[in-house]
Amino acid sequence: STFFVSNASEASHALVSAQADGIVTLIKGCQSIEKKVAKATGMKDGLLAKTKVPSYETNVPEEVRETNAYKIDDYEAEISVLQEAIEKFLTLKGSN
């Protein structure tokens, strides 16, 4: 949106306000991504725990074991992408 400022003080205040809003948005975005990392990590850790049970290889059908292995890989990839996004958010935050 377009707005007009009548003096330098108002312009300075508007700029600081816009920067603060941007930082708040970045922080909220980063927090949201951190929650997704925590959820994906929990899901991955839960599946890994199941695979560590001594009878897992003998009692769990191969199809299920394969599915779990794919899910673990997917969670690891998701976590990696999310962590990269957090790093980018922090870089943007640092440049403000």
Q: Distance between CA 52 and CA 81 in Å, rounded?
A: 26
pLDDT of residue 61: 97
Q: Does the reported pTM lie above 0.75?
A: no
What average pLDDT does the segment 27-34 reach?
86
Task: Decide: 43 and 75 in contact? Cβ < 8 Å.
Answer: yes
Question: Per-residue pLDDT tens for 41-88?
Answer: 999 999 999 999 999 999 999 999 999 999 999 999 999 999 998 888
pLDDT of the residue at 92: 74
Query: What pLDDT sits at residue 58?
Result: 96
